[in-house]
């Protein structure tokens, strides 16, 4: 099924027939991220952490104590939302990256939960590989195209990616990987500097030449770490991939099973 997508830039208004969908906590504090946008611009109500309010719809991803909910519980609320969209077909739903900000989950953990939803939704572009089709196979051409300084350190990497000679699925993958926080901390607040340093050490002199573990190389290594975690491979695999000695298939659906 083909859906519509948005580029995940911050918005402050939508057409009257379009609902802003965001991840929330059950306390309804709406203090940051898309929840704050919903409060300031789309009629979300303090203390209401679930369901419709104004021109917004809250999907809980954290409990009333502002703690991360298990994926199985989030899936329950997403299933409720699917029913809501089906029962209100005249409305459209602008879905943000629910659960992928403060709640700390990854796109590949949340996005597949929305599969099978009615077509009156607008997804963040990072969801595309997971709701519409599988991730693309990794090839030497693909990784050479987007893992380069001119893309990673662009003033607007997402916009730069759209100019690359890649398929839409490959552009979505590149956007996901480059926008995944890894350095100095990931989206769960974990320090990843030691892991990135190990990756740089393994690759240094083999396919790249890094002067030191300064910020630039660490950011570069963080992108590679994000790709390695998404596809579940190691440094040796990446070297062989970069050198054109192998391709890497996308992870199987069971790798995104609920925790």
Query: What does the block give as tokens for 113?
Result: 């939960």
Summarize the confidence of residues 31-35 as an average pLDDT: 92
pLDDT at 255: 40
Q: 121 with 185, same domain?
A: no
User: Distance (Å, rounded) from C-alpha 185 to C-alpha 191?
Assistant: 5
pLDDT at 188: 61
Q: 86 with 109, same domain?
A: yes
Q: 111 with 144, same domain?
A: no
pLDDT at 133: 67
pTM as predicted: 0.64
Query: What does the block give as tokens for 165?
Result: 């000679």
Helix axes 168-179, 215-231, angle to 10 degrees: 130
Q: 22 with 119, same domain?
A: yes
**Domain's final residue, options 131, 156, 184:** 131
Phi, psi angles (nearest 5°) of residue 23 = -85, 140
pLDDT greater at residue 43 or residue 210? 43
Strands 51-53 and 56-62: antiparallel
pLDDT digits (tens, 9 = 90+) for 4-19: 888 888 899 999 999 9
Q: 247 with 212, same domain?
A: yes
**Domain's final residue, options 131, 158, 187:** 131
Indicate the number of domains in the chain.
2
- pLDDT bin (cut points 50, 70, 90) of residue 257 is very low
Lowest mean pLDDT among 36-45, 134-143, 236-245: 134-143
pLDDT digits (tens, 9 = 90+) for 105-116: 888 889 989 988
pLDDT at 104: 87
Q: 148 with 38, same domain?
A: no
pLDDT at 172: 84
Summarize the confidence of residues 228-255 as an average pLDDT: 87
Determine what percent of the chain is predicted with pLDDT higher than 70: 93
Task: Answer whether residue 177 shows pLDDT above 70.
Answer: yes
Q: 40 with 102, same domain?
A: yes
Strands 18-25 and 92-95: parallel
Q: 181 with 70, same domain?
A: no
pLDDT digits (tens, 9 = 90+) for 146-164: 999 999 999 988 889 999 9
User: Distance (Å, rounded) from C-alpha 157 to C-alpha 115?
Assistant: 27
CATH value at residue 100: 3.40.220.10
Summarize the confidence of residues 132-139 as an average pLDDT: 84
Average pLDDT, the chain: 90
Q: 92 with 187, same domain?
A: no
- pLDDT bin (cut points 50, 70, 90) of residue 259 is very low
Determine what percent of the chain is predicted with pLDDT higher than 90: 64
- Taking residue 194's Cβ as centre, other Cβ atoms within 10 Å add up to 8
Give whole-number Cα distances, 244 to 144, 171, 183, 195, in Å: 10, 20, 27, 24
pLDDT digits (tens, 9 = 90+) for 209-240: 876 668 899 999 999 999 998 898 999 999 99
Q: 95 with 187, same domain?
A: no
Helix axes 215-231, 235-242, angle to 10 degrees: 100
pLDDT at 228: 93
pLDDT digits (tens, 9 = 90+) for 192-211: 999 999 999 999 989 888 76
Q: 189 with 84, same domain?
A: no
Q: Which domain holds residue 101?
A: 4-131
By the 10 Å C-beta count (0-12 exposed, 13-18 middle, 19+ buried), 51 is classed as middle
Q: 51 with 84, same domain?
A: yes
């Amino acid at each position: 099924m083909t859906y519509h997508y948005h580029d995940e830039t911050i918005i402050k208004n939508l057409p009257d027939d379009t609902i802003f969908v965001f991840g929330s906590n059950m306390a309804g504090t709406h203090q940051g991220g898309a929840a704050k946008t919903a409060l300031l611009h789309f009629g979300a109500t303090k203390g209401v952490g679930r369901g419709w309010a104004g021109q917004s719809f809250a999907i809980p991803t954290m409990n009333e104590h502002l703690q991360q909910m298990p994926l199985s519980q989030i899936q329950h609320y997403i299933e409720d939302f699917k029913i809501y969209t089906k029962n209100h077909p005249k409305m459209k739903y602008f879905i943000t990256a629910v659960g992928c900000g403060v709640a700390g989950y990854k796109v590949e953990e949340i996005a597949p939960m929305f599969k099978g939803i009615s077509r009156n939704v607008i997804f963040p572009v990072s969801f595309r590989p997971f709701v519409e089709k599988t991730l693309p196979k990794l090839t030497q051409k693909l990784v050479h195209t987007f893992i380069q300084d001119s893309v990673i350190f662009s003033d607007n990497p997402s916009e730069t990616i759209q100019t690359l000679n890649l398929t839409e699925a490959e552009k979505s993958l590149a956007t996901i990987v480059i926008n995944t926080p890894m350095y100095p901390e990931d989206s769960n607040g974990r320090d990843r500097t030691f892991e990135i340093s190990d990756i740089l050490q393994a690759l240094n002199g083999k396919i790249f030449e890094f002067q030191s573990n300064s910020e630039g190389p660490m950011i570069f290594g963080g992108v590679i770490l994000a790709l390695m975690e998404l596809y579940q491979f190691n440094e040796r695999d990446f070297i062989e991939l970069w050198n054109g000695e192998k391709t890497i298939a996308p992870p199987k659906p069971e790798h995104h099973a609920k925790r």
